[in-house]
C-alpha cells in the first residue's frame, strides 16, 4: 500500500510549498487520514481555508480533485448516480421495432434486454461514484455537507466507511484506489453521529494575529510587512465585535489586495472605514465596525 506522506513535517512543508500555511494540528490530521485511510471532517467558520485544504492536498499529491458541492435538496441522482432513462427507452424502442419487423435477435428476451439497459453503458456517474471508480488516487471534496438534509447523509455512510457503492442492478462497486476524502462543514447544523464516527475531526478557526499576517504576506503580492500587520490587527479587532458575519480569511485577503491597488501603505481610520465593504457584507456590521474604528482608531 502506497502512502502519500512520510511524516507530519513532510505534510506541513508540502502544504507550505503551495502557499497553504498549516500548523501541526492540520498537518497531523492530514497525515493520519492518509495512513488510516479515513475521511476528514473539517469544521469551522466560512472562509477559514477548509475547502482550500482539500485543493492544496490534491495539488501536492498530484491527484485529481473531484468535488461534490452540497445544497438543500441534493439527492442520489446528483450525488451518486442515475440511469440514463432516455437512452434506455431508446434502446427498448429499437429492440421492439426490430422484433416487430421479424429481425429480433435470439437474445432479445426482456430479461436479457433488462440486463443490457442496466449496464455500465447507461449509467450516469456522479461525483461520489466517480471518486470510487477512479483508476488513480483522487481527492474527493464533499463541500458544505451541513447543507444537505439528515436523510441525505445516509448516502455517504457506505462510501465513508468501506469506500464502496452498492447499485442494485450492478452489485457492489469497490474502490481500487482509496480516495482521500474531505468533508467540510460551516456548522450550520449538527451532523449525524453515524457520519462523525466514520471521520477524523479537524476544526479550523480564524488564524491568530501572527498567522493571519503571514497569510497576507504570502498570498498578496506587493503588500508590505507593516501594512500586513495593520490589516491583521484591524481584522482581529473587528472580529471581537458582535456581527452577523465576521470577516473571513478570504475577505481579509480581498481587503489587502484592495489596499495595495489603492496604493495605501499605512491605514488610517478614514481609509479603513471607506473600504469596510470589502470585509463586511451587512450594513449593520459595517455600521458597528465604523463605530469601533472611530473609537479605537486604525492602529
Domain at 131, CATH number: 3.40.50.300
Instruction: Specify the residue for cell string 495539488.
Output: 59
Taking 70 as the pLDDT cut, the residues of the chain under it are 1, 98-115, 296-299
pLDDT of residue 299: 47
> Quick one: 239 and 141 in the same domain?
no
Q: Looking at the domain assignment, is residue 26 inside a domain?
A: yes
Q: Looking at the domain assignment, is residue 184 inside a domain?
A: yes
- Residues 245-286 have pLDDT tens digits of 999 999 999 999 999 999 999 999 899 999 999 999 999 999
Q: Classify residue 258 by burial, with Cβ atoms within 10 Å: 0-12, 13-18, 19+.
A: middle
pLDDT of residue 113: 64
pLDDT of residue 159: 92
> Quick one: 103 and 172 in the same domain?
no
> Quick one: 49 and 133 in the same domain?
yes
> Quick one: 158 and 22 in the same domain?
yes
- What is the tally of structural domains in the chain? 3
Final residue before a domain boundary, out of 175, 203, 231: 203
- Looking at the DSSP bridge assignments, the partners of residue 127 are none
Q: Looking at the domain assignment, is residue 3 inside a domain?
A: no
User: What is this structure's pTM?
Assistant: 0.86
**What number of other Cβ atoms are within 10 A of residue 184's Cβ?**
26
> Quick one: 141 and 172 in the same domain?
yes
Q: Looking at the domain assignment, is residue 87 inside a domain?
A: yes
> Quick one: 21 and 41 in the same domain?
yes
Q: Looking at the domain assignment, is residue 34 inside a domain?
A: yes
> Quick one: 150 and 230 in the same domain?
no
> Quick one: 15 and 61 in the same domain?
yes
> Quick one: 234 and 139 in the same domain?
no
Phi, psi of 43 (to 5 degrees): -110, 160
Q: Looking at the domain assignment, is residue 2 inside a domain?
A: no
Final residue before a domain boundary, out of 162, 187, 203: 203
Range of the domain at 105: 81-122
> Quick one: 105 and 247 in the same domain?
no
Final residue before a domain boundary, out of 154, 185, 203: 203
Q: Where are the alpha helices (DSSP H) in the chain?
A: 8-17, 24-36, 50-61, 76-79, 85-100, 110-117, 127-133, 150-162, 193-197, 209-219, 225-239, 249-261, 269-274, 276-279, 283-296
> Quick one: 65 and 92 in the same domain?
no
Q: Looking at the domain assignment, is residue 299 inside a domain?
A: no
> Quick one: 113 and 55 in the same domain?
no
Q: How far apart are CA 234 and CA 286, in angstroms?
A: 13
Q: Looking at the domain assignment, is residue 245 inside a domain?
A: yes
Amino acid at each position: 500500500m502506497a502512502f502519500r506522506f512520510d511524516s507530519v513535517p513532510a505534510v506541513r512543508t508540502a502544504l507550505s510549498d503551495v502557499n497553504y500555511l498549516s500548523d501541526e494540528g492540520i498537518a497531523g490530521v492530514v497525515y493520519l487520514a492518509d495512513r488510516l485511510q479515513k475521511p476528514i471532517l473539517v469544521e469551522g467558520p466560512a472562509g477559514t481555508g477548509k475547502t482550500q485544504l482539500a485543493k492544496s492536498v490534491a495539488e501536492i499529491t498530484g491527484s485529481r480533485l473531484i468535488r461534490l458541492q452540497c445544497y438543500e435538496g441534493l439527492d442520489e441522482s446528483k450525488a451518486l448516480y442515475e440511469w440514463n432513462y432516455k437512452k434506455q427507452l431508446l434502446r427498448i424502442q429499437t429492440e421492439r421495432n426490430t422484433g416487430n419487423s421479424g429481425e429480433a435477435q435470439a437474445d432479445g428476451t426482456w430479461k436479457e434486454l433488462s440486463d443490457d439497459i442496466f449496464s455500465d453503458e447507461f449509467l450516469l456517474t456522479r461525483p461520489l461514484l466517480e471518486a470510487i471508480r477512479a483508476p488513480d488516487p483522487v481527492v474527493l471534496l464533499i463541500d458544505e455537507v451541513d447543507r444537505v438534509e439528515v436523510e441525505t447523509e445516509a448516502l455517504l455512510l457506505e462510501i465513508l466507511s468501506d469506500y464502496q457503492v452498492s447499485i442494485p442492478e450492478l452489485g457492489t462497486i469497490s474502490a481500487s484506489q482509496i480516495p482521500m476524502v474531505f468533508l467540510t462543514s460551516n456548522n450550520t447544523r449538527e451532523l449525524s453521529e453515524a457520519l462523525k464516527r466514520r471521520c477524523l475531526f479537524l476544526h479550523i478557526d480564524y488564524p491568530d494575529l501572527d498567522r493571519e499576517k503571514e497569510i497576507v504576506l504570502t498570498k498578496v503580492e506587493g503588500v508590505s510587512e507593516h501594512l500586513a500587520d495593520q490589516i491583521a490587527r484591524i481584522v482581529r479587532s473587528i472580529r471581537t465585535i458582535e456581527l452577523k458575519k465576521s470577516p473571513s480569511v478570504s475577505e481579509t485577503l480581498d481587503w489587502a489586495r484592495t489596499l495595495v491597488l489603492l496604493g495605501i501603505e499605512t491605514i488610517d481610520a478614514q481609509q479603513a472605514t471607506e473600504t469596510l465593504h470589502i470585509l463586511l457584507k451587512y450594513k449593520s456590521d459595517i455600521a458597528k465596525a465604523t463605530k469601533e474604528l472611530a473609537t479605537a482608531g486604525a492602529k
